[in-house]
Amino acid sequence: MTEMTSSAGTIEQAVTRLRDLQRANRHDAALQAVQPLLAAHPLNRDLALIEAISLRHLHRFDDCLARLDVLMDRQPGYSLGWQERGLVHIAQRDAPLAIAALVRAVAINPALPMAWRMLEGVYRLVGDTANAAHAAAQGAALKALPPEVVHATALFSDGDLVPAEAIIRQFLIGFGDHPEAMRLLARIGLAREVLDDAEALLAAALTIAPDHRPARIDYIDVLIARHKYAEADRELAPLLAATPHDQRLRTQAGTICVGLGRHDDAIAHYRSLLADLPVLPDDPVNRATRADLNLWMGHALKTIGQRDAAIAAYREAAAIRPEFGDAWWSLANLKTFRFTDADIAVMQAGEASEATAPVDRVHLAFALGKALEDKRDHAASWDYYARGNGHRRAESRYRPEVIETNTAEQIRVCTGAFFAERAGWGCAARDPIFVLGLPRAGSTLLEQILASHPQIEGTQELPDIQRIVLELQGREPDLDHPRYPGTMADLTADQARALGERYLADTRVHRSEGRPLFIDKMPNNFRHIGLIHLILPNATIIDARREPMACCFSNLKQLFAQGQEFTYAVDDIARYYRTYLNLMRHWDTALPGRVLRVIHEDVIDDLEGQVRRMLDACGVPFDPACLAFHENRRSVRTPSSEQVRQPLFRTGLDQWRSYEAWLEPLELALGDALTTWRT
């Protein structure tokens, strides 16, 4: 290299020097310097873009487009790559292709002044005055914003969250409240899942600028992410009434309908969106959108028991995008679906391809694990399950110590004496029935049985207890030295009652049938039984428990949509199971008789006896409809949705034994839990 030596330092420093060469119009030198770096770092998009820019300036347009083909195939969401493609087509005097590329660029990243300027010029060239005016308006809007906000927005849109956040925070410190800057910081918070901060920022921005439509749309996204579907619905209604054909608003409407349990309405939204969306097979964004809509429609159809229609929707999603791992996994996650040999070949090709996105590869691995398990090829099946788990665990930030510390704190704080001093506290209502425990332990089956009773309504895995926990933890919690559950000791009787009343008020939106009792089936609520008892002392609490090998194995082969990060490694799931047993034994000591334990295997062996136990605990008379639970057509959103629509069979109890050759580490990690799990 003539302008760059091997001691140039980091890639970031190299990129800076290469850009300096380009600013000095030394494109031959920049190209000579970037190519060996790109050979060593072929996935670095900054280097790839620098190479493309220099090739364009050197009028090597075909070479430039070939490099951009590779870049955009790997990173189709990189706006600067599409902008560069547009600039090449402008240089080639190809207006249609230039417009297509530049429109793609600004769709990903609206904070691209150059792209808007070029679009305005090309539109005027072809006589499209309306779009030229729109591009000019967008460019003028960017020019009216502070440069720091424009730069940070561009970085954020291309996924560079760290520098974007640093720039926008520094700007807000110096400038003060600025609605667009506050909106951007909220969007960064949403991307980082710091949802309470994002909600507060957007609410404040809308107080300053109530007519800021993009901020209100983002606010709806945050409310959806926080499962505040009723509030999101209220915010969306006037926007959707004003612009009923807006694709983003209609998509939000579908998501809200799912969250509120209005699945028929959600399906109608998705079908309408698909009907209005053109079919553009060569447009990756169009293909991704159509595939996603079919996937979401499949989920809603599955939830209401329309299995065949759900399968058709999932298959359509996979046909549009053969590497779409979520579509294949959704078929596998029906549990009762069986793949063909041709399906397996397509999935194996996708899982093995370097071009497949990591998230798709994980979904494909789990789907192949299930497909080959059904083929009784257990060695190959385990290999795919292990690969999927390995990928998922590698990207996870889960630390078992956090859960164990919280458990130790629950045991320290929530003693029998603690509750005796607070006897009579909380909201006296007996409406909620909490079905909790580990995932894949039979809680969906218990919910389906109970929801078949005319006095009990099934809802879903409600996030409301966790939301209260987050408030008690405070912002920016120290997970190694948590404030919760210690903060429960600071609550007054009035505050405990108010929390119980708020829980009932917030969950009422899910109670569409008006039955006196309802089920909250969030498994992880077992960690918060002390809080539940404090704020809702008359609620029913049922612990769904399953034999440890069967339960842990079932978790190891399950890919969860979100959360449950402890399920992707043998040691993690074993430690979690043992921690669960430890905490449940504490609740038995501190709150004797408060929790009804229901063993999954006992339900299989003695359905009527276990049903009578549960109904007695809920305070309702026996009803034979609970024995015919599989005939209940209610909505079920968990992975067991198809299984609970069938009569009980014993065949699933010992599925793990087909994998015994690979599960010795799990047995060792579980230790005495294998013999003491019932107590």
Q: In this predicted model, what pLDDT tens digit does every residue of 244-289 receive, in sequence order?
A: 999 999 999 999 999 998 999 999 999 999 999 999 888 777 899 9
Contact between residue 118 and residue 98 where contact means Cβ atoms under 8 Å apart: yes
Contact between residue 279 and residue 272 where contact means Cβ atoms under 8 Å apart: no
Contact between residue 105 and residue 93 where contact means Cβ atoms under 8 Å apart: no
Contact between residue 405 and residue 491 where contact means Cβ atoms under 8 Å apart: no
Distance (Å, rounded) from C-alpha 122 to C-alpha 105? Answer: 15
Task: Give every strand in the sheet of 540-545, ordered side by side.
Answer: 456-458, 517-520, 432-437, 540-545, 595-599
Condensed to tens digits (0 to 9), the pLDDT of residues 440-488 reads 999 999 999 999 999 999 998 999 999 999 889 986 677 788 999 999 9
Helices marked H in 333-442 — which ranges? 341-352, 358-374, 378-394, 400-413, 416-421
Distance (Å, rounded) from C-alpha 229 to C-alpha 263? Answer: 13
CA 25 vs. chain centroid, Å, equals: 45
Which two three-digit tokens encode residue 641?
């949705």
Q: Which amino acid does the sequence have at 63? A: D
Give me the pLDDT at residue 4, please.
43
Phi, psi (rounded to 5 degrees) for 202: -70, -35
Calculate ∠ Cα 34-40-41, nearest 5°: 80
Nearest to 437 by CA among 649, 150, 638, 195: 638
58 by Cβ neighbours in 10 Å (0-12 / 13-18 / 19+) ranks as: middle
Q: Give, for 585, the enclosing helix (H) or strand (E).
A: helix 570-590
Local structure of residue 76 (DSSP, 8 states): T
Distance (Å, rounded) from C-alpha 125 to C-alpha 132? Answer: 9
Distance (Å, rounded) from C-alpha 7 to C-alpha 14? Answer: 10
Crossing angle, helix 284-303 and helix 325-332, to 10 degrees?
20
Distance (Å, rounded) from C-alpha 570 to C-alpha 561? Answer: 19
Helices marked H in 109-194 — which ranges? 113-125, 129-144, 147-157, 161-175, 179-191
First and final CA of the chain: distance in angstroms? 70
Specify the residue for token string 């009923």.
244
Buried residues in 401-440 as b, exposed as e (16+ CB within 10 A): eebbebbebbbebbeeebbeebeebbbebebbbbbbbbbb
Q: Which amino acid does the sequence have at 414? A: C
Neighbour count for residue 551 (Cβ, 10 Å) = 25
CA 115 vs. chain centroid, Å, equals: 32
Neighbour count for residue 665 (Cβ, 10 Å) = 11
667 by Cβ neighbours in 10 Å (0-12 / 13-18 / 19+) ranks as: middle
Which two three-digit tokens encode residue 276?
């209005």
Calculate ∠ Cα 385-386-388, nearest 5°: 65
Distance (Å, rounded) from C-alpha 256 to C-alpha 241? Answer: 16
Distance (Å, rounded) from C-alpha 119 to C-alpha 122? Answer: 5
Contact between residue 314 and residue 295 where contact means Cβ atoms under 8 Å apart: yes
Report, as ranges of residue numbers, the positions in the chain whose pLDDT lies below 70.
1-9, 475-476, 633-647, 649-652
Pairing of strands 456-458, 517-520: parallel
Nearest to 545 by CA among 375, 638, 673: 673
Which two three-digit tokens encode residue 126?
């072809």
Contact between residue 413 and residue 489 where contact means Cβ atoms under 8 Å apart: yes
What domains sit in the chain, N to C, each tagged with a CATH number?
Answer: 11-215 (1.25.40.10), 400-676 (3.40.50.300)
CA 199 vs. chain centroid, Å, equals: 18
Nearest to 631 by CA among 455, 435, 444, 449: 449
Distance (Å, rounded) from C-alpha 118 to C-alpha 109? Answer: 15
Cβ contacts of 262 within 8 Å, gap of 6 or more: none
Contact between residue 112 and residue 154 where contact means Cβ atoms under 8 Å apart: yes
Give me the pLDDT at residue 355, please.
82
Contact between residue 359 and residue 391 where contact means Cβ atoms under 8 Å apart: no
Distance (Å, rounded) from C-alpha 517 to C-alpha 521? Answer: 13
Cβ contacts of 286 within 8 Å, gap of 6 or more: 277, 278, 279, 280
Bridge partners, residue 519, by sequence? 433, 458
Q: Give, for 609, the enclosing helix (H) or strand (E).
A: helix 607-618
Contact between residue 231 and residue 262 where contact means Cβ atoms under 8 Å apart: no
